[in-house]
Amino acid sequence: MGILPHLRPRTFSSRPGRAFGGNISQRLPYTTNAHPANSRHILIVGGGFAGLACARALARAPVRITLVDRNNHHLFQPLLYQVATAALSPADIAAPIRGVLRRNARAEVLLAEVESIDAEARRVVAGGRTLTYDTLVLASGTEHSYFGHEEWEASAPGLKSIDEALEIRRRMLLGFERAENEPDADERRRLMTFVIVGGGPTGVEMAGAIGEIATCAIPRDFRHIDTRSARIVLIEAGPRLLPAFPEELSARAQRDLESIGVEVRTNTRVTDISPEGAMVGDALIGSRHVIWAAGVRASSLTAQLPCERDRSGRVLVGPDLCVPGHPEVFVLGDIARVVDPKTGLEVPGVAPAAMQMGRYAARQIDREARGVQTPAERPAFVYRDKGLLATIGRGKAVAAIGKSRFAGLPAWLLWALVHVYFLINFRNRLSVMLGWAWAYLFFERGARLITGQRVSQPRG
């Protein structure tokens, strides 16, 4: 995935293990003097990369902060597919938002779902409470888009949350267990066929991870099936995988996937999805496991803003990342359609861009709260592209950094280093490194637990 931010961001501590928080004994006292009533109130909706970066960067600003999220945790989404494929556990890539912000005495956290936004009245309703604000930072993220076929979701879960990752893991592991005792050969093939729809970073990394599980991690654990015969199909509607990457790296990624047994189909559209599998044209790929990685759309909250949006619901923001005509409303992350003034290109919806947007918004809020500038004097946001990385599997990855293009083990090591560095805290880093080291040395997955619904439930 495109996840190569600044190696030493200004707004995060450069000390190891302290990128998102500190020791509880060192936290600032939480008193009413920390946020006097006459200070500006900054309401941040969303505790993802953009929202959290903004909140952290406002730690010394003379403002009050309220961060609202429906989840109590910040999730490191670039590694979520590893939870879905039993390489990591949820706690390895997530941390409580309150813990992340514990040292910021000016910040409050509200666990609630935002129900409505009234930009004219500067009011937000969340969890039945009405919140007023001086500045709104909307960073609510994206949701799955099934392109008008919402009925597909039941048979083809996406990958945006821990719950979805655990459901994919449950279905995958349960599929192998059922195949072990399935007398019907056709049904056994369906149970051991995995279809991933979408050839972007998530789809590529998911296909590679499932391929490694089937061929390396579990073959010796079963007595009546050969998991190496599992069929993994990656479907992409466009002409190549990883369309944001240079063509030579897309081709390399496809070769690496095919080398571990993944069947890649480009220029192919899925016409229907059901519990029986995925329809490609008039042909059915029989499968009990379809995973959706083909499209996203902006959070539905963007529809409540008085502004233009594109086809995927993203807000067409101005150069200062604000809703035109509303300088008090910032829209950040992958729900914003941002055009870089230097290149004329759209800023990609990746984690580095979201963090840069969050820090940019915080700088403008801080300067205006101190009376240093007015909204009319804001500089345009400029995205600093630090590169793209995607991994296919053990020792296999592709990297595009500036004009450099490389693949294989060097790209894989860089991918691992960058992801470990930007994990939330030292515990997460240590846990992930140990898990990866164990998997690399012994070809095993440490989180192969079937949890959630009972195994006696119907297939699919």
For 8-38, the pLDDT digits (tens) are: 333 333 333 334 333 333 333 333 345 555 6
For 287-305, the pLDDT digits (tens) are: 999 999 998 999 999 999 9
Residue 327 clears pLDDT 50, i.e. is over it = yes
Indicate whether 30 belongs to any domain. Answer: no
* CATH code for position 61: 3.50.50.60
Q: What is the pLDDT, as a whole number, of residue 30?
A: 38
**Angstrom distances, CA of residue 116 to CA of 41, 43, 64, 296, 435:** 18, 13, 21, 21, 42
Which band of pLDDT confidence, cut at 50, 70 and 90, is reported for residue 450? Answer: confident
Among 205, 212, 236, 328, which one carries the catalytic annotation? 205
Does one domain contain both 77 and 205? no
Indicate whether 365 belongs to any domain. Answer: yes
Q: Please report the DSSP string for 43-107 in residue order.
A: EEE--SHHHHHHHHHTTTSSEEEEEEESSSEEE-GGGHHHHHTTSS-GGGSEEEHHHHTTT-TTE
**What domain range includes position 227?**
150-293+388-442
Indicate whether 178 belongs to any domain. Answer: yes
User: Is 40 or 457 the better-scoring residue by pLDDT?
Assistant: 40
Q: What is the pLDDT, as a whole number, of residue 444?
A: 72
Q: What is the pLDDT, as a whole number, of residue 4?
A: 46
180 is catalytic: no
Which band of pLDDT confidence, cut at 50, 70 and 90, is reported for residue 426? Answer: confident
Total domains in the fold of the chain:
2
- Mean local confidence (pLDDT), 62-70: 97
Indicate whether 25 belongs to any domain. Answer: no
Q: What is the pLDDT, as a whole number, of residue 23?
A: 34
- Mean local confidence (pLDDT), 73-81: 95
Mean pLDDT of the chain: 89
Does one domain contain both 256 and 234? yes
- Type of residue at 148: G
Looking at the chain, the whole-number percentage of residues with pLDDT higher than 90 is: 79
User: Is the dihedral angle over the CA atoms 77, 241, 84, 155 positive or is it negative?
Assistant: positive
- Mean local confidence (pLDDT), 51-73: 97
What is the end-to-end Cα distance of the chain in Å, rounded? Answer: 28
Residue 445 clears pLDDT 80, i.e. is over it = no
Ranges 201-205, 255-259, 401-405, 443-447: which has the least confidence: 443-447
Q: What is the pLDDT, as a whole number, of residue 7?
A: 34
* CATH code for position 423: 3.50.50.100
- Mean local confidence (pLDDT), 89-104: 93
Indicate whether 11 belongs to any domain. Answer: no
